[in-house]
Chain A
Amino acid sequence: MSGPALSNRSALELEDIDFSYATRLNGINGALYKDFSLRIEQGSIVTIMGASGVGKSTLGRIMAGIVLPQKGIVRRSPDFTGPSDLVYVDQHPMNGVFPWQTVLENVRYPLEKLKWEGRERRDRICYLMTLFRLSPLSDVYPAQLSGGELQRLALSRCLSWKPKLVILDEPFSALDGKVKAEITSALHELALKDRMTLVLITHNVSDALALGMRCIIIAKRPVRVMSDLDFHLGFPREENTPDYDAMQQALINGIRDGLV
């Protein structure tokens, strides 16, 4: 098994969370989450999987503190010192960048505001621009980028200041296989190097298998954890190997259990 060593300390804990939307758009059985608990270990790469509309993004937003649960506790690691240590990256990469800033300005701006100075800042920008292959696009505005380029920009911006926990909502949904593989390997490198905890939210089996060390399958409703699987796979992930196929089958079974 590769990847950052598991530590027993939690990056984030949800305890007995209740959450429902006030509008009751989803019918009368209102409660989306009821007594929901989850623990994310520091340095782990966790995938949260579930069917569309099950409440994955809501879970991500509860974890990030963007929406507050009606009941229960969201506990962050005491290592998290400022709001910038826990980042939720939106499904739409355009929401994660400032479209009025060029690619380079987008990567530089958060570092400036978080008081990264001089050489450290320059090196970080240079490293990220190279890792996500954005250097030739420095002076371009986000609106002129392709989908894959925009996703790379959104990620490099949100990861620029080395946040301790990053929640990525469907980061690969609009991307083809090649771009996905590039972004996956960049994310893997960053997670190792910066000791980041990553939470990936997805509905897609191959996305779930691309990076995660642990996969949590959730289903409705109220949302429960259907399966909690550990992946013992190296990186990069080789498809069509016996280990990969076994994990894929386990995931598919987990999802099927969630549907019935």
Chain B
Amino acid sequence: MDWFRRNWRALSFVGGLIGVWAIVTALRLVDPIILPAPWNVARAVPGMLRERLFADIALTLGRVLAALLVACVFGIPVGLFLGYRQRAYKVVEGPLHALRSVPASALFPLFLIVAGVGETSIVALAAYPSLLVILVNAVSGAALANQRRLYQARLLNLNSWQTVSDVLFYEALPSIFDGIRTAVSYSLVLVVAVEMFIGLGERGLGRGIYLYQSSYRIPETYGAIMIAGTIGILLNWVVTKLQHHMLRWLPNVREEQ
């Protein structure tokens, strides 16, 4: 009950949207080939899930999570180090921003040449912009760290590793989470898009959407798109929950310094 009370705005928005959709299709204002009725889409979903989509969802999620893992494992420590050693950052700052300006999807052919047609290149492509955005956020978070707390690190004779892991990591964590949220949507967009182009074993959510569309199974196409959207919302929700948990100590007002 509580859950409904807290989320009634979002729920009524979604409900309203489906209502308009139902009215539009019931009155035949739009050709059902272009926009099938919501109940037809809903009826198609269980069959799709059984047919292929469970496996597709698992595979796509696995690729997105693998990309995020790679991005975090490399992006966070390197970003924190660069934020800590500003002189090193000055050296790589230009090239880094140049790399960030190149659309990741434009690099896909290169990834195929280097890594070959396989899981590696899909994950690498999604990991690449995710890593950059997490890294840049970690750099700026660490660079904006509270100087008075870094003074404490010097007082206590912390070495570089301890300063980064015990102080800078937490100082930069709010900013790192901003990066991770952006990275989540980058990864999902890229994985789904790449799956449409190369269907390894004809699997993956993107491939599913593409195959339904190209065989004119329009209700299924809508269903698969909505499932992809739902996955995006769920991933974002998980990251938000994680963020609230890991930043539960954060002062509301940053009155320091």
Cβ A143 vs Cβ B251 within 8 A: yes
B170 touches A100 (CB 8 A): yes
Number of interface residues, chain A, beta carbon within 8 A: 22
Q: Does A4 contact B (CB under 8 A)?
A: no
B residues within 8 A CB of A113? 156-158, 162
Q: State whether A98 touches B167 (Cβ < 8 A).
A: yes
Residues of B within 8 A of A82 (CB): 157
Within the assembled complex, what's the spacing in Å between the Cα atoms of A101 and B250?
10
Q: Answer yes or no: B50 CB below 8 A from chain A CBs.
A: no
Q: Are A95 and B155 in contact (CB under 8 A)?
A: no
Binary A-proximity of B141-157 (CB < 8 A = 1, otherwise 0): 00000101101101111
Q: Are B256's CB and A83's CB within 8 A?
A: no
Asked if B251 contacts A94 (CB within 8 A), the reply is yes
SS class of chain A's interface: helix, strand, loop or mixed? mixed
Q: How far apart are the CA atoms of A99 and B146 in the complex, in Å?
A: 11
Docked-complex contact A98 and B170, CB < 8 angstroms: yes
A110 contacts B by Cβ under 8 Å: yes
B contact residues around A95 at 8 Å (CB): 146, 148-149, 256-257
Interface assignment of A142: CB less than 8 Å from any CB of chain B: yes
Number of A-B contacts (CB under 8 A): 55
What residues on B are CB-neighbors of A110 within 8 Å? Answer: 152, 156
Q: Is the CB of B148 within 8 A of A100?
A: no
| Cβ-defined partner of A141 (8 Å) among B162, B166, B249 | B249
Distance of A88 Cα from B257 Cα, bound (Å): 14
Q: If A84-B157, A142-B249 touch, does A94 touch B255 (CB 8 Å cutoff)?
A: yes
B248 partner residues in chain A, CB cutoff 8 A: 141
For A114, list chain B residues within 8 Å (CB): 156-157
Set of chain B residues within 8 Å of A143, measured between Cβ atoms: 249-252
Q: Mark A25-64, 1 if CB is under 8 A from B, else 0.
A: 0000000000000000000000000000000000000000
- CB of B257 within 8 A of CB of A92, answer yes
A92 touches B255 (CB 8 A): yes
- For the complex formed, measure the closest distance between the CB of A121 and the CB atoms of chain B, giving whole angstroms: 14
B249, A100: Cβ atoms closer than 8 Å: yes
Residues of A close to B156: CB separation below 8 A: 84, 110, 113-114
**Closest A residue, CB atoms, query B146:** A95
By a CB distance below 8 angstroms, the chain A residues around B162 are 113
A66 at the interface (CB under 8 A from B): yes
Are B148 and A99 touching (Cβ within 8 A)?
Answer: no
Question: What is the distance, in angstroms, from A199's C-beta to the closest C-beta of chain B?
Answer: 16
The listed residue (A83, A87, A99) touching B251 by CB distance below 8 A is A99
Q: Is A207 an interface residue (CB 8 A)?
A: no
Q: Which residues of A contact B166 (CB under 8 A)?
A: 98, 109
CB contacts under 8 Å to A, within B199-257, are 248-252, 255-257
| A131-149 vs B, Cβ < 8 Å mask (1 yes, 0 no) | 0000000000111000000
Whether A258 is near chain B, meaning CB under 8 Å from some CB there, is no
Q: Report the minimum CB–CB distance from B103 to chain A (whole Å).
A: 37
A90 / chain B contacts, CB cutoff of 8 Å:
148
Cα of A84 to Cα of B157 in the assembled complex, Å: 8
Min CB distance A258 to B, Å, is 29
In the complex formed, the residue of B with least CB distance to A112 is B156
**Is the pair A83, B167 in contact by a Cβ cutoff of 8 Å?**
no
Residues of A within 8 A of B157 (CB): 82-84, 113-114
- A90 CB to nearest chain B CB (Å): 5
Q: Chain B: which residue is nearest A87 at the CB level?
A: B155
Q: Scoring B residues 35 to 54 as 1 if CB is less than 8 Å from chain A, else 0, what string do you get?
A: 00000000000000000000
The smallest C-beta distance from A95 to any residue of chain B, in angstroms, reads 4
Contact pattern, B 54-88, Cβ under 8 Å of A = 1, otherwise 0: 00000000000000000000000000000000000
Chain A residue numbers with a CB within 8 Å of B251 are: 94, 99, 142-143
What's the least CB distance linking A110 to chain B, in Å? 6
B257 neighbours in A (Cβ, 8 Å): 92, 95
Question: Which A residues are within 8 Å of any B CB, using their own CB?
Answer: 66, 82-84, 87-88, 90, 92, 94-96, 98-101, 109-110, 113-114, 141-143
Q: Which 3 A-B pairs have the closest CB atoms?
A: A95-B148, A143-B251, A141-B249
User: What is B's interface to A at a CB cutoff of 8 Å?
Assistant: 146, 148-149, 151-152, 154-158, 162, 166-167, 170, 173, 248-252, 255-257
A selection of 19 A-B contacts at a CB cut-off of 8 Å is: A66-B151, A92-B257, A94-B255, A94-B256, A95-B148, A98-B152, A98-B166, A98-B167, A98-B170, A99-B170, A99-B250, A99-B251, A100-B173, A113-B158, A114-B156, A141-B248, A141-B249, A142-B249, A143-B251
